[in-house]
Amino acid sequence: MNDMRIVERDVSTAEIKINARDVNVHYGTSHALKNVDIEILNNNVTAFIGPSGCGKSTFLRCLNRMNDTIPSAKVSGLIALDGEDIYDSKVDPVQLRAKVGMVFQKPNPFPKSIYDNVAYGPRIHGLTRSKAELDQVVETSLKKAALWNEVKDRLHSPGTGLSGGQQQRLCIARAVATSPEVLLMDEPCSALDPIATAQVEELIDELRNQFAVVIVTHSMQQAARVSQKTAFFHLGNLVEYGETGQIFTNPRDPRTESYISGKIG
Amino acid sequence: MTDISASPAGKSKGSSLLELDSRTRRRNAAERRFQIYGIVAIAIALAALLMLLVSIFSGGSSAFRQTFATFDMTLPAEQLDPEGNRDPAEMARVTTIGYQNVLRAGLVAAVRDAGIVPDGVADADITGILSPEAAADLRNRVLANPDLIGTTVDIDALVHGRIDGYFKGRVTMESAVRDANITPERLQIAEAMVENGLMSTRFNWGFVTKPDASDQRPEAAGLGVALLGSLYMMLVVLVLAVPIGVAASIYLEEFAPKNRFTDVIEVNISNLAAVPSIVFGILGLAIFINFAHLPQSAPIVGGLVLTLMTVPTIIISTRASLRAVPPSIRDAALGVGASRMQSVFHHVLPLAMPGILTGTIIGLAQALGETAPLLLIGMVAFVRDYPDAPPEGLFDPASALPVQVYNWTQRADPAFVERASGAIIVLLAFLLVMNAIAIILRRRFERRW
Amino acid sequence: MSVLWITLIVLAIAAIAYGVSRRKAIEETKGDVRRLHSLPSYYGWFSFISSAVPAFLVLLVWLVIQPMIIGNRVNDALQLPEDATIVQGMAATRDARAVSVALDEALSRGVLQQGDIAQFAADPASLGPALRDADIELSVIVTPQLLDAARVYSSTVSMLNTLMAIVVIGIAIVGAGYAIRRITPDFRARNVVERMVMLLLIGASVIAILTTIAIVLSMVFETVNFFRQYPWTEFFFSFTWAPVFQGISQLGLLPLLWGTLYISAIALAVAVPIGLFSAIYLAEYASKSVRSVAKPLIEILAGIPTIVYGLFALITVGPLLRDWIAQPLGLGSSGSSVATAGLVMGIMIIPFISSLSDDIINAVPQSLRDGSLGLGATRSETIRQVVLPAALPGIVGAVLLAASRAIGETMIVVLGAGAAARISGNPFEAMTTITVKIVSQLTGDTDFNSPETLVAFALGLTLFVITLTLNIFALYIVRKYREQYE
């Protein structure tokens, strides 16, 4: 596996979850993302790395159409989830986002109880038929986010009262509760201390058993620790995409190498 | 870890994105409904605004037009100047009644000459066309220029409010039958006079410049005294509220230590801004009139009350614009050895000036439209004399623009409703100009730090 | 000498002091201003302030106290009974002043001679007609005591006015002299001037407190008077409002309070949904261009004076509701009604709710919206379940502020609600409010001795307390809310 070439990445055993072809994003007049082609695999953690403003977060937000909320953003090209174009006019972003969940840079629990935070998604999507079922979903999700033991006695106290790391895991539990197929994480650890970061990273590794996980990160160490595949973005271009080990030990593109060795960033 | 299939997902994993499930369809419908509520709410608010403006403008624009009877007549010297020496003091003994007889005779002659009066119509029906105010106007005109006596002059006489109303659609032949103040015959004569060029409805400056008139003479009522009164009050507010407001803001924003005392002031200011205006009227009545013995109905009292109401507004906006001046400016001034006072007065205050001016104009506009407190300090009184020039004139009785509107709404003759709406148009025009100036100032001097 | 002249003279003295001190400061250093502690103009300002400010302060205090002294003198001359109230005393002084002003006018026009006045003392009743012949208004009935009091009044006034001019101008001169003598090159003029300016700034800030105190005092005073003449239990708990001048009035607050609250409730029922939905749409959905047009247009509603709304209620909305709803349904035949006033007041309040709510909704962090949208919530679900609950305290504060505005609003109810005090559930009936009754009891001929007039002060105080409580509560909530997201 380690010796795999980029052009032959479809050799991988896992199925392709998201297939992006020739994706361009414009914000008003600025060209934020240029001709990006990428295939994201199921049950893998894919890390997007690159210097600030390189387009990695922009691309992430294309994957569940969060860019729709920015009026000036224009997305072109094809992004397919399980072979279906998510920018097709028949696709409802609401339904898409139920399948492609998202965790944000800053923990953003709603000003509600911990229970209501987690139950929010299942409620709006009507995923449960009874209170007992909902309780079950909340418990499962909190367990998946490795938070259950810490909060099981205070499910009805406000989510904003938790510590930063707990809040971020709550947000992950909230995203997991809608049983998505893809989980997008936009620098999920940048607002956390090292211990909380370690907990979240451990969690990400567990989550890949059930989802395709895409993580944007600033930290190359983090990308190396948690991901199987890494994509390096620079100035709106996808410069290089491949096995994480290969990217970090044997980058093909000189720009990747400069970044990894700390010359640009 | 529990398997994902344990969570009872509503849709199966393989469901296609391209097919909307029924729940999403329902949710999207709810989304559209919600948006429509918002659009409807805005539409209602804008429709209310439109309806308000249309109602005022359609009812009030006719107040600026007035019907006049125009004809020539010779002013008989023997009746208007019995002494024959053209001395205004002597001539003043001829009362308005005397002029009225002369004017009526002139009108009857002019109308009968034109040959438009059907047989059998009494002179009273012709003379009833005139406003009682017309004779007073003629008297003033003659007293100001005694040489007119004996000559033939153009008469431009106000006609009765009901005749005027007929041409503005307020009075009809049917309503005239039931009306003690007008008869259908008079309306017919008036119509004939219009055809013969003896009567016309045209723009009337008098509405803006003349004083108020009594209940029976809506056609003569004007806004002159009210405009002067409002102007005087605005002067008082400008002279008092701006320095006080700006000084207080400078202290609170730039110098005040954070302690109990300044807290009390802050709470006071924000509460004063929300105290009902009528309470300020009670304050004015009790303190300025009953206690300090200032005269009732005087612009000075109105100005003082409005000052107290305007100061919080000015303080709030001035503080906002002082706060918008970045601390780096203050630091720069202090850094070259200026005292704090100098840095504020030389640098911060000039930079905040546009914002202060804008706030001041908006505060003045608010004060200009304020009615309730002025009712309590006696500005509803019927005032026909123009106040003198300030400062003495500040103590003369006067009315105010919004109070004049209220005053006219309380009168029986529906012609006053038209005049009230007209007065509001004048008021809104002033407010529009003031707000436009404020917006232009803001645009012109707006700084981005 | 009028106050205006005194003011001008004091300003002139201060201006001279400015020039003299500035010159003196420069001369003391023989033209080398670098040796001065402060810039020369500061020496000038020091003298200006030292001269003008004490003089004006004394003038101000004098103007407040003078009427009291005059009142006492006049009341002595009138031999008012010991237990006369302050209000009676004021009324007596007013009468004496009216006679005095009329007499002065007569003297200045030459209608009367100084000697004639003594004659009228024997037959005071003839004074009124005599003055009326000369076209001088005098509405009070002249008694011998009153004539006497009028003469006391005029002599006291002229004496005090002269004294005031001497004292105030004297203080200005002394202040100027003192300041000029203190000027030496080492004198720290800037520091002193700055301290003086600071005192002026503080003084301006204190006016806010003084206004509040004046509001409270002006009402408490007369309210106490009112409750001396009318039992407070009747006022607060009676269901009848029937003032009869020169009779036994019933002055119950409850019908007025009912009308006030009923109208405010209708106003809020109109304004809260419309204002809130407008704010939500403008903050969350509207494109920039729609927002930049619709928001200022809605805010125009807030800039329109209330008298305009009053007229709108009177000539448009009232007849409309009467002809299309009330009469066909047999609910009433009056154009003035609770519904009319409530509807129009609701329109007036829309911009308060919408712009406050707009601010509050915008203060909810974007990350919460992203979090909800990222989970696949629709925008409306995000707004209803995340944004609004987060903004709720702020919105409640905005509604309370709007309620306080509605309760204190006067012109719309004066013109749109009617004057009949009654407690009824029918919104198409005319009812009345606290503010309407304050206006009607305090305009026209008022007798500050009768409970029918004084009740207005008790009503005013009640209104003030209600709105103040609402305001403080609302401001507290809004402030707490802002801190949460700062």
pLDDT per residue as tens digits for the range C23-74: 888 888 877 777 788 888 888 889 999 999 899 889 888 877 887 788 777 7
Rg (C-alpha) for chain A, rounded Å, is: 18
Which contacts qualify for C100-104: CB closer than 8 Å, 24 or more apart? C100/C150, C100/C151, C100/C153, C100/C154, C100/C157, C102/C131, C102/C136, C102/C137, C102/C138, C103/C150, C103/C154, C104/C154
Nearest in space to B41 (alpha carbons), one of C354, C359, C341: C354
Annotated domain spans of chain A? 6-260
Which one, of B221, B220, B217, B133, lies nearest residue B423 by Cα?
B221
Q: Is-contact A100 A254, C-beta < 8 A?
A: no
d(CA A80, CA A60): 14
Q: Which residues of C touch B365 (CB under 8 A)?
A: 303
CB contact under 8 A, A108 and C386: no
Picking from B254, B283, B358, B368 by the largest number of C CB atoms within 10 A of its own CB, the best residue to mutate is B283
Whether residue A81 and residue B17 make contact (CB cut-off 8 A), yes or no, is yes
- Whether C370 and A104 lie within 8 Å, measured CB to CB: yes
**Arithmetic mean of pLDDT, C169-198:** 88
Rg of chain C over CA atoms, in angstroms?
Answer: 31
What is the pairing mode between strands B65-74 and A100-103? unpaired
Intra-chain end-to-end CA distance of chain B, in Å? 54
What is the rounded CA–CA span in Å between residue A80 and residue C167? 93
What is the structure's pLDDT at B14? Answer: 55
> Does the CB of C172 have a partner CB in chain B at under 8 Å?
no
* Preferred mutation among A18, A19, A64, A95 to probe B, highest tally of B CBs within 10 A: A95
Residue A225: strand, helix, or coil: helix
Give the rounded distance of the alpha carbon of C60 from its chain centre. Answer: 20
**Contact assignment for C371 to A178 by CB distance below 8 Å:** no
Residue B337, amino acid: G
pLDDT band at C484 (very low <50, low <70, confident <90, very high): low
DSSP state of A113: B
Q: What angle do CA A234, A240, A242 make, to 5 degrees?
A: 140
Three-state secondary structure call for residue C36: coil
Contact A127, B8 (CB under 8 A): yes
DSSP state of B212: P
Q: How confident is the model at residue B76 (pLDDT cuts 50, 70, 90)?
A: confident
Sheet of A212-216, strand order: A84-85, A73-81, A16-27, A30-41, A237-243, A229-234, A45-49, A212-216, A182-186, A100-103
B265 touches chain C (CB under 8 A): yes
Beta carbons within 8 Å of C83's beta carbon, 6+ residues apart: none
What pLDDT is stored for residue A8 in this prediction?
Answer: 38
For B42-79, b where at least 16 C-beta lie within 10 A, e where not — what string?
bebbbebbeebbebbeebbebbbbbbbbebebebeeee
The answer to whether the CB of A62 falls within 8 A of the CB of A75 is yes
Lowest pLDDT segment from B249-263, C294-308, C435-449: C435-449
Tell me what ipTM this predicted complex has.
0.89
Domain span(s) for CATH 1.10.3720.10 in chain B = 224-445
Average pLDDT in the C344-352 region? Answer: 95
Rounded Cα distance between B301 and B277, Å, is: 15
User: Is 3.30.428.10 the CATH number for A6-260?
Assistant: no
- Contact (Cβ atoms closer than 8 angstroms) between residue A27 and residue A73: yes
Give contacts of B 164-223 with C, CB under 8 A. Answer: none
Neighbours of chain B (3+ CB pairs under 8 A): A, C
pLDDT score of B17 more than 60: yes
CB distance from A81 to chain B under 8 Å? yes
Question: b/e for B317-350, b at 16 or more Cβ within 10 A?
Answer: bbbbbbeebeeeebeebeeeebeebbbbbebbbe
pLDDT at B1 over 60: no
Q: d(Cα B373, Cα B143) in Å, to the nearest integer?
A: 40
Nearest to C381 among A103, A112, A124 (CB): A124
Mutual angle of helices C3-28 and C144-182, in 10-degree steps? 10
CB contact under 8 A, A104 and C365: no
Q: Do A127 and B9 touch (CB under 8 A)?
A: yes
Q: List pLDDT tens digits, range A78-130.
A: 999 988 899 888 888 888 888 898 999 888 899 889 999 999 999 988 888 89
Report the gap between the CA of B226 and the closest CA in chain C (Å).
15
In 10 A of CB C435, how many CB atoms? 29
**Does residue B9 have a pLDDT over 70?**
no
Q: Are A181 and A99 in contact (CB under 8 A)?
A: yes
CB-CB: which of B4, B8, B27 is closest to A210?
Answer: B4
The answer to whether residues B42 and C293 touch, using CB atoms and an 8 Å cutoff, is no
Helix (H) or strand (E) holding A21: strand A16-27
What distance in Å separates the CA atoms of residue B160 and residue B186, rounded to the nearest whole number?
10
What angle (nearest 5°) sits at the alpha carbon of residue B94, between those of residues B92 and B99? 115
- Asked if residue B178 has pLDDT above 90, the reply is no
E strand map for B76-196: 152-158
Is the CA virtual torsion C367, C372, C378, C384 positive or negative? negative
Average pLDDT over residues C384-399: 89
| CATH, domain range B224-445 | 1.10.3720.10
Percent pLDDT > 70 in chain A is 94
Q: Could you tell me whether strands A73-81 and A84-85 are parallel, antiparallel, or unpaired per DSSP bridges?
A: antiparallel
Minimum-distance CB partner of A90 among B9, B18, B21: B18
Rounded Cα distance between C446 and C127, Å, is 25
pLDDT, tens only, B116-146: 777 777 787 888 888 888 888 888 888 888 8
The position carrying tokens 């003598």 is C181
Give yes or no for a contact between B300 and B374, defined as CB atoms under 8 angstroms apart: no
Q: What is the rounded distance in angstroms from the CA atom of residue C165 to the CA atom of residue C171?
A: 10
Residue B8 and residue A127: Cβ atoms within 8 Å?
yes
- Cβ C376–A98 below 8 Å, yes or no? yes
Q: Which tokens hold the place of B363?
A: 């505060």
Distance CA B396, CA B390 (A): 9
Q: What is the mean pLDDT of residues B433-447?
A: 83
Residue C386 at interface with chain A, using a CB cutoff of 8 Å: yes
Residue C486 has what pLDDT?
54
Residue B189: per-residue pLDDT: 86
Q: Which of residues 5-34 of A touch B (CB under 8 A)?
A: none
The Cα of B412 is separated from the nearest Cα of chain C by a number of Å equal to 13
The CA–CA distances, whole Å, from C279 to C276, C285, C352, C371 equal 5, 10, 10, 22
Chains A, C: CB contacts within 8 A come to 73
Higher-scoring residue by pLDDT: B18, C464: C464
Mutation for testing the C interface, residue in B230, B242, B251, B343 having most C CBs under 10 Å? B251
pLDDT digits 0-9 by tens, A190-221: 888 888 888 889 888 888 888 899 999 988 88
Q: Which residue ranges make up each domain of chain C?
A: 3-227, 241-484
Residues 6+ apart with CB under 8 A from B436: none
Q: Say what the pLDDT of residue B402 is.
A: 94
pLDDT tens, position by position, B285-319? 988 888 777 778 889 899 999 999 999 999 999 99
Of A127, A177, A209, the CB nearest to B10: A127
Whether the CB of C371 is below 8 Å from some CB of chain A: the reply is yes
Cβ contact B10–A126 (<8 Å): yes
Contact C342, A75 (CB under 8 A): no
Chain C, 271-290: which have a CB under 8 Å from a chain A CB?
287-288
User: Which residue from C280, C240, C273, C472 is spatially nearest to C381, judged by alpha carbons?
Assistant: C280
The pLDDT > 90 percentage for chain A reads: 31
- What are the distances in angstroms from CA B390 to CA B229, B394, C301? 11, 6, 34
Strand A30-41 to A16-27 pairing:
antiparallel
Range of lowest pLDDT (B379-388, C235-244, C401-410, C424-433) = B379-388
Element (H, E) at B106: helix B96-114
- Asked if the model's pLDDT at residue B6 lies above 60, the reply is no
Angle between helices B22-60 and C338-363 (to 10 degrees): 130
Which of the listed CATH numbers 1.20.1420.30, 3.40.50.620, 1.10.3720.10, 1.10.150.120 matches domain C241-484? 1.10.3720.10
The answer to whether the CB atoms of A88 and B18 lie below 8 A apart is: yes
Touching check for B365 and chain C: CB below 8 Å?
A: yes
**Nearby residues of C369 by Cβ (< 8 Å), 6 or more positions away:** A69, C382, C386, C387
Identity of the residue in C287, C368, C376 whose CB atom sits nearest the CB atom of A94:
C376
Distance spanning both ends of chain A, measured CA to CA: 29
Q: Does C364 touch chain A if contact means CB atoms closer than 8 Å?
A: no
| DSSP collapsed to 3 states, A121-165 | HHHHHCCCCCHHHHHHHHHHHHHHCCCHHHHCCCCCCEHHHCCHH
pLDDT, mean over chain C: 85
Strand partners, A216: A48, A186
Residue of B nearest to C94 (CA): B293
Q: CA torsion angle for B379, B380, B385, B389 (degrees, to 10)?
A: 20
Q: Residues of C with CB below 8 A from B415's CB? A: none
Q: Which residues from A are below 8 Å from B9, CB to CB?
A: 127, 179
